[in-house]
């Protein structure tokens, strides 16, 4: 075990860093809209049950594996898996997945930065034009915004675990909470806001079917940053005396609370401006909501509160989304970076340089998916649809591999690491764990029905995404 490995300095440091990873773009718009379209309060209840009963055990497994091994995913699986090929593949998947997700998330973060820049420059009226986003994604200004975002991320990551990730999270996360609360308070004072709250909260169980349940679990899994190697890596920065169990619970609660609170901003804002909105007609895509729909909402808002005030509200919104995205990106880029440092025995600076170069190149390529380079815009064809490089990365890594990685860690705990060793790991820092109900539940579920559910979700996603049929 490496003695020089850096560790988080405190439990709160870890919780804020992991919550920074978990709270992302999906929390702000994707989750509230999915809830409203799929049964409101009924979706919220199902979502909360999934977080507590399926995601939390997987989360503890990732953090426990990381802390036991004191390595990033590749080496963690290799060492604890006693070097067998099968577990090396799991480690490799847990390293390549965050790398590819970082590329796709980077494209969206750069767009958010561009919109933030434009809003702060007083150009809300321009970004609210219906055809603006279509032009924006093929504009060369992308390169300038990409450089700025890369510099910010590297500025944080070069400081390492304590002086970089932990310190940035301690500043950025409270700022994010504050901005969110301010926007909620503001939006709730608008006329008609309560109609949005109603659509969001009143349960309609008739909307719940197999695909809604599948979607809720996938959303919860993704929202807690599971299956991306992030919590294995952050777990490896835990000291043996730290309490993994309580920290995991607090991260899950924080992420869910932020997603829930964001619904009190997103839906009331939509209904205050467009009172006749049919929730069914809202787009499933966070991208089109953030970049096409929301700028128009802020522009309409200027009729009520004036252009200056609407610009301030829009700036806070894009800054909120940017902070949420940056703290997530930092966590995901840390995974391949720390793997690279370990594997090639190089300094953090060198690893960041290599990762920065590779991710920037791929990000630039993925950003040409929207018409700039015809072959990238049309790189594959499946389930009856032409797909761009960006689409393929989202379909393969975001939608499909995450539940597979979750399944693999459950199988790893059950068949290789063994549940008693896993429980012993969680007991360190939490001596009461072995006698708790949570232990009994985690011990049973992680070796039985959780892997079965994740296998079904994985198979259904493959069927839907790549073959255009669904069995749920
Ligand atoms: N939990 C994050 C979110 O909801 O956006 C998931 C995530 C995505 C984390 C991409 C990190 C990342 F780079």
CA of 204 to the centre of ligand 1 (A): 28
pLDDT at 291 over 60: yes
What's the pLDDT tens digit per position in 169-215?
Answer: 999 999 999 999 999 999 999 999 999 999 999 999 999 999 899 99
Count of helix runs (H) and strand runs (E) in the chain: 26, 2
Phi, psi of 468 (to 5 degrees): 70, 20
Is ligand 1 within 6 A of the CB of residue 223?
Answer: yes
CA of 275 to the centre of ligand 1 (A): 31
pLDDT at 44 over 50: yes
Is ligand 1 within 6 A of the CB of residue 332?
Answer: yes
CA-closest candidate to residue 30, choices 273, 275, 255, 289:
289
Model confidence at 86, pLDDT cuts 50, 70, 90, reads: confident
pLDDT at 57 over 50: yes
Mean of pLDDT values over 384-392? 94
Mean of pLDDT values over 401-419? 96
Is ligand 1 within 6 A of the CB of residue 290?
Answer: no
Q: What integer pLDDT is reported at residue 82 of this predicted model?
A: 86
Provide the b/e sequence for 55-66 (b: ≥16 CB within 10 Å): bbbbbbbbbbbb
What's the pLDDT tens digit per position in 17-40?
Answer: 999 999 999 999 999 999 999 999
Q: What integer pLDDT is reported at residue 471 of this predicted model?
A: 82
Considering the entire predicted model, what is its pTM? 0.95
Alpha-carbon gap, residue 82 to 271, rounded angstroms: 56
Name the average pLDDT for the chain: 95
Is ligand 1 within 6 A of the CB of residue 22?
Answer: yes
pLDDT at 1 over 60: no
pLDDT at 261 over 50: yes
Alpha-carbon gap, residue 88 to 93, rounded angstroms: 9
pLDDT at 2 over 70: no
pLDDT at 3 over 60: no
Is ligand 1 within 6 A of the CB of residue 417?
Answer: no
As assigned by CATH, the class of the 11-467 domain is: mainly alpha
pLDDT at 85 over 90: no
CA of 192 to the centre of ligand 1 (A): 32
What's the pLDDT tens digit per position in 107-158?
Answer: 999 999 999 999 999 999 999 999 999 999 999 999 999 999 999 999 999 9
DSSP letter (8 states) at residue 231: H
The ranges assigned to domains in the chain are: 11-467
Question: Which residue bears the tokens 């991260």?
Answer: 251
Q: Closest ligand 1 atom to the C-alpha of 31?
A: 4
CA-closest candidate to residue 119, choices 322, 273, 268, 262:
322
Q: Closest ligand 1 atom to the C-alpha of 331?
A: 11
Mean of pLDDT values over 225-233? 97
Q: Closest ligand 1 atom to the C-alpha of 102?
A: 13
Beta bridge partner(s), residue 382: 385
């Amino acid at each position: 075990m490496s003695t020089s490995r850096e560790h988080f300095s405190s439990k709160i440091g870890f919780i804020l860093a992991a919550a920074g990873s978990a709270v992302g773009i999906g929390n702000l718009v994707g989750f509230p809209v999915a809830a409203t379209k799929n049964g409101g309060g009924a979706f919220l209840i199902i979502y909360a049950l999934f977080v507590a009963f399926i995601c939390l055990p997987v989360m503890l497994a990732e953090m426990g594996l990381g802390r036991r091994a004191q390595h990033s995913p590749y080496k963690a699986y290799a060492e604890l898996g006693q070097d067998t090929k099968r577990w090396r593949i799991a480690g490799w998947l847990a390293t390549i997945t965050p790398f590819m997700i970082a590329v796709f998330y980077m494209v969206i973060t750069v767009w958010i930065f561009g919109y933030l820049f434009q809003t702060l420059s007083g150009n809300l009226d321009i970004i609210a034009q219906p055809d603006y986003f279509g032009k924006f994604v093929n504009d060369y200004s992308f390169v300038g915004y990409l450089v700025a975002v890369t510099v910010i991320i590297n500025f944080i990551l070069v400081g390492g675990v304590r002086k970089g990730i932990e310190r940035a999270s301690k500043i950025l996360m409270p700022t994010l909470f504050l901005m969110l609360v301010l926007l909620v308070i503001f939006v709730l004072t608008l006329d008609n806001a309560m109609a949005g709250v109603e659509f969001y909260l009143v349960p309609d169980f008739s909307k719940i079917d197999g695909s809604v349940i599948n979607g809720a679990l996938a959303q919860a899994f993704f929202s807690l940053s599971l299956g991306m190697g992030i919590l294995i890596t952050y777990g490896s920065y835990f000291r043996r005396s730290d309490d993994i169990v309580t920290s995991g619970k607090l991260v899950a609660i924080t992420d869910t609370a932020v997603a829930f609170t964001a619904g009190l901003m997103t839906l009331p804002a939509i209904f205050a401006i467009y009172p006749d909105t049919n929730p069914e007609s809202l787009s499933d895509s966070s991208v089109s909501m953030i970049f096409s729909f929301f700028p128009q909402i802020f522009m309409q808002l200027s009729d009520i509160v004036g252009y200056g005030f609407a610009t301030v509200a829009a700036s806070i919104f894009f800054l909120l989304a940017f902070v949420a995205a940056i703290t997530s990106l930092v966590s995901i880029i840390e995974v391949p970076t720390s793997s690279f440092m370990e594997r090639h025995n190089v300094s953090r600076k060198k690893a960041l340089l290599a990762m920065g170069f590779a991710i920037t190149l791929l990000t630039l390529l993925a950003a040409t998916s929207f018409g700039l380079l015809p072959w990238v815009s049309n790189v594959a064809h499946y389930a009856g649809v032409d797909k761009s490089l960006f689409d393929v990365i989202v379909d393969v890594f975001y939608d499909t591999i995450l539940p597979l990685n979750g399944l693999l860690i459950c199988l790893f705990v059950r068949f290789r690491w063994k549940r008693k060793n896993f429980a012993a790991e969680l007991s360190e820092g939490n001596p009461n764990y072995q006698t708790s109900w949570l232990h009994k539940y985690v011990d049973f579920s992680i070796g039985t029905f959780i892997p079965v559910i994740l296998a079904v979700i994985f198979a259904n996603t493959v069927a839907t995404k790549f073959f255009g049929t669904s069995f749920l």
